[in-house]
Structure 1
Amino acid sequence: MSLKDQITEDMKTAMRAKDTARLGTVRLLLSACKQREIDERVTLTDADVVAIVDKLIKQRKDSITQFTAAARMDLADKESAELVVLEAYLPKRLSADEVDAAVRAIVTELGATGPGDMGKVMGAVKQRLAGNADMGLVSAAVKRALTQ
């Protein structure tokens, strides 16, 4: 079963259980998937769906930061609940040590030597670790690897 099919099944389950909070988040995710399919005229793969989930998670984290700064805890709590639902659709994330090891291997493989090679290394890292690692953590690991 593809990830998109799983999300559709989760929506049906949330409807039957009358879980409105979860249902709203799952519908939002399905809507984002459908919008991308229509815009690009493609059928989404699991990797594409994971990329959409990553984008929505990043938006939720940014919103939580803004709402917390504005002392709007009611909205921050709502975003946090959506964040928990969205994170369930991500594959298991790599640990910081695993990310560092993968980045060092890619830097060695590409022969990157300094900060000027950051774009080349990030491009290769994104292809290999997409959906499996937090890109903020990956970026920091690449900077460390290139400055040593």
Structure 2
Amino acid sequence: MSLKETLLGDLKKAMKEKDNIAKSTVTMVRAAILQIEKDTKKELDDTEILDVVAKQVKQRRDSLNEFVKAGRDDLVEETKAELDVLMKYLPKQLSKEEVKEIVKEAIDKVGAKTVKDMGKIMSEVMPKVKGKTDGKVVNEVARELLN
């Protein structure tokens, strides 16, 4: 079953169970997918749909930080619930230690010595960890290892 079919099934389930958070979250993801399909005039495959879901997760995480700073506990709880729904669609997330190992391998492979080599490291690592961790985490780990 494709990810698109899974999303549709989960939307139907959320509607039957009257789970408004899951319903609105899945609806937003499906709308984002539909918009990209209309813009590119092609149907997205599961890998591309994972990119859309990962982008939605990143948006929620960024929003969560802002809501915490602003003291908006109501929005913090809602955003956390949305994140829980979205995380079901992503592959198992890598731990910081796993990311560190992948980045070490990339540093050795490209011969990186300073922070100026970040582009080489990132272009080596990101395809391997796509959907499994955030680019911000990879960037932090790489900077940590280079310093």
- TM-score above 0.5, yes or no: yes
Q: Secondary structure at the match of 1:18?
A: coil
- 1:135 alignment partner in structure 2: 135
- 1:65 alignment partner in structure 2: 65
Q: Secondary structure at the match of 1:113?
A: coil
Task: Please tell me whether the aligned partners of residues 57 and 87 of structure 1 are also in contact (alpha carbons under 8 angstroms).
Answer: yes
Which segments of 5 or more consecutive residues in structure 1 lack a partner in the other structure?
Answer: none
Distance, in Å, in 2 between the alignment partners of 1:8 and 1:22 is 12
- How far did 1:87 drift? 1.2
Which segments of 5 or more consecutive residues in structure 2 lack a partner in the other structure?
Answer: none
- 1:104 alignment partner in structure 2: 104
Distance, in Å, in 2 between the alignment partners of 1:32 and 1:38 is 10
Task: Please tell me whether the aligned partners of residues 93 and 134 of structure 1 are also in contact (alpha carbons under 8 angstroms).
Answer: no
- How far did 1:146 drift? 2.8
- How far did 1:68 drift? 2.4
User: TM-score w.r.t. structure 2 length?
Assistant: 0.90
- 1:11 alignment partner in structure 2: 11
Task: Please tell me whether the aligned partners of residues 118 and 146 of structure 1 are also in contact (alpha carbons under 8 angstroms).
Answer: no
Return structure 1 stretches of 4+ with deviation > 3 angstroms.
Answer: none
- 1:32 alignment partner in structure 2: 32
- How far did 1:27 drift? 0.5
Distance, in Å, in 1 between the alignment partners of 2:42 and 2:126 is 21
Same amino acid, percent of matched pairs:
38
- How far did 1:67 drift? 2.0
Two-structure CA RMSD over aligned residues (Å): 1.5
